[in-house]
Chains A and B, each alone.
Chain A
């Protein structure tokens, strides 16, 4: 190894892992035999030692370790508090939703098939010529979301009206096919919940009742006398 190579390798010589093995041995051998390179290497070493010592020699403030531990504990506390706050907020939101749901449910009136079957006829709108969306539009204009009962043929619809029941309004649709008559009450699930106890026969009456539960609406169908569901079905649904 010559002087030029030794001076090129000088920065690597400072760290044992950077210059090792055979190259290190050649480097040391040259420095041992060349006074000029030895002076440079020693001066570099002396400089590095002086700098390293000066840079590393620095007192650590008393109490720093405790300060770090305290700050870590505070951070942990913050994290826990944040987690607790989130959990509390979630619980509060759940409670609020539950209360709101309870309040909303409590606003609904319970209605039974018997109650509806015994409603007296009022003044009814007489249907002359209509399309089902006309009827639905009429109810919408009155603030009621109503869909005609989809299984019944609109051709059999003869009357419609709005009835008030337990403080809420509902649509009443009268169907007639030959002598068979049926009244359909369309109740919003927002306002009513059905008491489903009891059978389809109405006590002390010649009516029978069918309740059809749809996603947003309840259809209470009161069949009068011997009328049956089959009498009013859409023509393509009728058997025979």
Chain B
């Protein structure tokens, strides 16, 4: 049986974006079951609000935005918001020049989990290579300068958490 127009459009969105959205959800929430649930919820909401998507070319940021809002809603209701003082996220003062080694997935997720959402989101959107700073700023409703500043701090935080011990020591000397 042929699907109605709205359902067909959503199914196309599922085909194209569900894997990337799942990864984003996983990195945001840090848990596979929550990520799967968030991904499903995102498409259900997209289906219900499909009329709001005026430009099909903007489907990707629209879906990411729905997912982030769903995540934030849960995080708020579950009081999972992490508050990391900005001071603890160092600015990148002196860049180490050695090539960065491969990252262990568990350590990466643990470090991401420790980042406040306002820092984690621009970092994830940046590394998904899907969004410009302008896109990220629009999604987060922040000025581009703030996005870039948060991104720099988030990178510095990750570098410090994930760099080998000897590199951390030499980096700390430079801070």
Contact yes or no, B23 A56, CB < 8 A: yes
Contact yes or no, B36 A61, CB < 8 A: yes
Cβ of A51 within 8 Å of any chain B Cβ, yes or no, is yes
Contact yes or no, A52 B100, CB < 8 A: no
Contact yes or no, B48 A51, CB < 8 A: no
**Chain A residues closer than 8 Å to B121, beta-carbon distance:** none
B147 CB → nearest A CB, Å: 10
Cβ of B155 within 8 Å of any chain A Cβ, yes or no, is yes
How distant is the Cα of A64 from the Cα of B34 in the complex, in angstroms? 12
Residue among B11, B36, B108 making CB contact with A64, cutoff 8 Å:
B36
Contact yes or no, A11 B148, CB < 8 A: yes
Cβ of A214 within 8 Å of any chain B Cβ, yes or no, is no
Contact yes or no, B36 A18, CB < 8 A: no
Interface members, chain A 50-91 (any B CB < 8 Å): 50-58, 60-61, 64-65, 67-69, 71-72, 75-76
Cβ of B133 within 8 Å of any chain A Cβ, yes or no, is yes
Contact yes or no, B22 A60, CB < 8 A: yes
**Chain B residues closer than 8 Å to A48, beta-carbon distance:** 127
How distant is the Cα of A43 from the Cα of B39 in the complex, in angstroms? 34
| A-contact bits for B1-24, CB 8 A (1 contact / 0 none) | 000000100110011001100110
Please count how many residues in chain B sit with their CB below 8 Å of the partner chain's CB atoms: 44
Interface members, chain B 105-144 (any A CB < 8 Å): 105, 108, 112, 124, 126-129, 132-133
Cβ of A17 within 8 Å of any chain B Cβ, yes or no, is yes
Contact yes or no, B7 A43, CB < 8 A: no
Chain B residue at minimum C-beta to C-beta distance from A57: B105
B136 CB → nearest A CB, Å: 10
Chain A interface SS verdict (over half): helix
Contact yes or no, B48 A75, CB < 8 A: yes
Chain A residue at minimum C-beta to C-beta distance from B133: A18
Contact yes or no, A47 B43, CB < 8 A: no
Contact yes or no, A50 B103, CB < 8 A: yes
Given the interface contacts A43-B96, A50-B101, A56-B127, does A72 sit within 8 Å of B27 by beta carbon? no
How distant is the Cα of A14 from the Cα of B36 in the complex, in angstroms? 30
Chain B residue at minimum C-beta to C-beta distance from A50: B100
Chain A residue at minimum C-beta to C-beta distance from B158: A51
CB<8 Å pairs between A and B, sample of 24: A11-B148, A11-B152, A14-B126, A15-B132, A18-B133, A43-B96, A43-B99, A47-B100, A47-B155, A51-B100, A52-B129, A55-B23, A56-B23, A58-B22, A58-B23, A58-B27, A60-B19, A60-B23, A65-B14, A72-B10, A72-B14, A72-B43, A75-B48, A76-B47
Chain A residues with CB under 8 Å of chain B are 11, 14-15, 17-18, 39-40, 42-44, 46-58, 60-61, 64-65, 67-69, 71-72, 75-76
Chain B residues with CB under 8 Å of chain A are 7, 10-11, 14-15, 18-19, 22-23, 26-27, 32, 36, 39-40, 43-44, 47-48, 95-103, 105, 108, 112, 124, 126-129, 132-133, 148, 151-152, 155, 158-159
